A and B are shown apart, each in its own frame.
Chain A
Amino acid sequence: MIWQGEKIIELTEVSIGYKERASSFNVVKSGISVYALKGELVAVIGGNGVGKSTLLKTLAGFQQPVSGAVMVRGEKVNAYREKELALIMSFVSTEIIRVPNLSVFNLVSLGRFPHTNWFGKLQDSDRQIVEEAIESVGLQGYENRMINCISDGERQKAMIARTLAQDTDVIVLDEPTAFLDMSNKYEIVHILHKLAHEKGKTIVFSTHDLTTAISESDRVWLMLKESVEQGAPEDLILSGYFTKLFQSDHLFFDQEKGDFRIRKTMKRKAAIHGMGFAVDWTIRALERNGYEVVHPANGSSDIVFVTIDVDYPEWTLTCLERTAKFNSLLSLCRFLNEL
């Protein structure tokens, strides 16, 4: 059974790109057919230069698609007037806003722009919406802080609160988690997830961080070199599309862990005896140093045996009848490199 909700955003055979001269276009990507349903968090994933930013700018109506139709709530995005579109869709760009003397409250209240009168005067209802927006990103108590004097993570939350104050069904964010540390990355993506699920907003964001995107987003628009695929992140992993994201000899997609890893040329073989999660990390250390980890039963004469001793942390290395003991993986690896 295929269940279909309302398609809030729908791109049909869209080509994106920039106008070079009067009649010629520099097409970045073509044949994009993706959509997003109401209340979905959509991650746009792709390598550098594949056109993520261009796609988001086209979706936000900042530039025209070269061909095809970008529909938002059933109408072409470029057919809306600025003010109409601002009531449907809000936007956060990659640019870091550094305006002196602009408080968090005033920044967020700028989101009321399409709702207020000519002079931008805030009514009590507007103030309440602004306060709620600040609260839902966890910035209460920051209202009077200047946006120049808060951290990147807090500023990004303030920018998201601004889109909430704008009160739109669709929010488009271009790399909202760039420049942020791991905990802020998780927090921001988690906030977006919550907004999508609790407030029914359709949120599209681009990111390079696969781990957070895979764990929190409902749908992924995967921008590959030859095509653009969409689906739940897990579906795309199972169908093998993620492996095509970076087609390089140096990287491979670890389908179990859901992230890319660096491919090593394995020069030698090693076998590991031991228990516990120390085994996993010992395997990683050996692989980094060019050892393929094999089952002890497949051992041949030139294999290196590593035993994780019971008096952890201690490793015993057996190689060509020589034995050595190490108290850290660092010293073990250094020894292996000199073999």
Chain B
Amino acid sequence: MIVSDKSVNMTINSTRGYKVLIILSLTVPLFFLLDLLVGSYSISVREILKTIFNPENADSQIVMIINQFRIPKAVTAILAGSALSVAGLQMQTVFRNPLAGPYILGISSGASLGVALLVLGTGGLLGGVFVSVAGSWGIVSAAWLGSGLVLMVIFIISARIKDIMTILILGILISSAISSVVNILQYFSNESMLKSFVVWTMGSLGSVTNIQLSVLFPSVMIGILIALLSSKFLDAFLLGENYARSMGMNIMFARMMVFLSTCILAGSITAFCGPIGFIGIAVPHIARMLLQTAKHSLLIPATILIGALMMLVSDIFSQLPGSNITLPVNSVTALLGIPIVIWIIIRNKKSGLI
């Protein structure tokens, strides 16, 4: 009797998790359609459905708007939201810090340094970097290298300094230092190079073309795949590296997996969409709260879906429905994410986690 009671109890948490995952995976397509609806040119639901399911009979102009602009933008929103959230989840687990995220630890600024060096360093030669597939791969690799460099520095520091708050502060310092280097690069570059870089820093979900998507999509998929493959390692990282090692985990290998995945995810998104903050910190907490679990095999799918949802919502807000004005999506995610982060800090302060 007792044994059977226990096994019933044990499944409560995971069934809750699966329920939440099912609800989320039904909500995401809904918001995807909603995101296709809003924009400076008003298009009805019927026209959208017609474009998707019966493009021959649809208005060619509307088909063009949807296929060339709205779908790439909504797909980018989903990719960016999931990628940044999964990167944030991994950082929070490995650094055992509720405030870690790709943005705060300077990984995003590392990516922007990579892009700045490429765009400003090569000068006019790569004026066309943003259009061609080869150029897209160039940008994405530069971002990966940049973010990888920063993450490497942080890992080296974290091997020596155990105090997690110190590491976080160092991350913030490193990202400020990198911003200064980027500023210096801007100062010494000519007008046309500067312009193409500034356009990138203001980059939004909308500036990602179908060509760039052909690079972004596989990159994010690979990053997420590596994260899913490391879910057992991430579970062990929850107890800290000494425990993980005592349970038989190869720390260097596991670190490298997480390291690689985070760089690919945060680096690729930063390369094409510019630095987007706070999604990566906030979403993992929402996932943990909704699922009431610490198991990464459930948390990773949940952060993917919640991240996608958050980014679609941010994109819808940034269109300011009913007007022609588009707000920078970075600001919207910050305004949505910061209250959540403040709530995390206050809640953790109460339970003594920080």
Instruction: List chain A positions with a Cβ less than 8 A from chain B.
Output: 60, 62, 82-87, 89-91, 93, 95, 97-103, 105-107, 110-111, 113-114, 116, 118-120, 127, 131, 140, 143-144, 148, 166
Asked whether, in the complex, the Cβ of B247 is within 8 Å of the Cβ of A111, the reply is yes
Q: Are A101 and B292 closer than 8 Å at their CB atoms?
A: yes
Of B232, B239, B240, B291, which one neighbours A119 at CB under 8 angstroms? B232
| A83 with B9, Cβ < 8 A, contacts A119-B231, A119-B297 known | no
Q: Which residues of B contact A83 (CB under 8 A)?
A: 248, 250
Given contacts A102-B238, A106-B294, contact A120 B247 (CB under 8 A): no
Let me know if A143 and B239 touch, CB within 8 A.
no
Q: Tell me the complex Cα distance, A101–B13, Å.
A: 10
Decide: A86 near B239, CB < 8 A? Known: A143-B10, A144-B10: no
Is B353's beta carbon under 8 Å from chain A?
Answer: yes
- Residues of A near B235 (CB, < 8 A) are 106, 110, 120
The CA-CA distance from A327 to B161 in the complex, in Å, is 59
Please name the residue on chain A nearest to B251 by beta carbon.
A82
B276-297 vs A, CB cutoff 8 Å, 1 = contact: the mask equals 0000000000001101111101
Q: Which of A62, A85, A101, A144 has the most CB of B within 10 A?
A: A101
**A110-B236 in contact given A101-B294, A144-B10 (Cβ < 8 Å):** yes
Q: Give Cα A43 to B291, complex, Å.
A: 41
Q: Closest residue to B291 on the A side, CB-wise?
A: A101
B245–A102 touching, CB < 8 Å = no
Contact B239 A90 (CB under 8 A): no
Cβ–Cβ contact B247 & A62, under 8 A: no
Cβ of B229 under 8 Å from chain A? yes
Which one of B2, B242, B250, B288 has the greatest number of beta carbons of chain A within 10 Å?
B242
Whether A103 touches B288, Cβ cut-off 8 Å, given contacts A86-B248, A87-B248, A97-B239, is no
Question: Is B246 in contact with chain A by the CB < 8 A criterion?
Answer: yes
Give chain B's interface residues, CB within 8 Å of chain A.
Answer: 2-3, 6-7, 9-10, 12-13, 98, 229, 231-232, 235-236, 238-240, 242-243, 245-251, 288-289, 291-295, 297, 351-353
Bound form: Cα–Cα A119–B227 in Å: 11
Chain A residues with CB below 8 A from B231, complex form: 119-120
From residue A20, how far is it (CB to closest CB) to chain B in Å? 13
A60→B246 contact, CB < 8 A: yes
| Cβ–Cβ contact A166 & B238, under 8 A | no
How far, in whole Å, are A102 and B12 apart by their CA atoms in the complex? 14
Judge whether B232 and A118 touch: CB under 8 Å.
Answer: yes
Residue pairs across A and B with Cβ atoms less than 8 A apart, 20 shown, are: A60-B246, A62-B245, A83-B250, A85-B246, A87-B248, A91-B242, A91-B246, A97-B240, A98-B352, A99-B239, A100-B351, A101-B288, A101-B291, A101-B293, A102-B238, A102-B294, A110-B239, A127-B7, A140-B6, A148-B351
**Which B-chain residue is minimally distant from A84 (CB atoms)?**
B248
Residues in A with CB closer than 8 Å to B288 are 100-101
CB contacts (< 8 Å) of B248 on chain A: these are 82-87, 113-114
Contact A95 B240 (CB under 8 A): yes
- Let me know if B13 and A114 touch, CB within 8 A: no
Task: Give the CA-CA distance A82 to B13 in the complex, in Å.
Answer: 31
B226 CB to nearest A CB, Å:
13
A114 to B243, CA, bound (A): 12
Residue numbers in B under 8 Å from A111 (CB-CB) = 247
Measured CA separation A120–B292 after assembly (Å): 19
Q: How far is the CB of A141 from chain B (nearest CB, A)?
A: 8
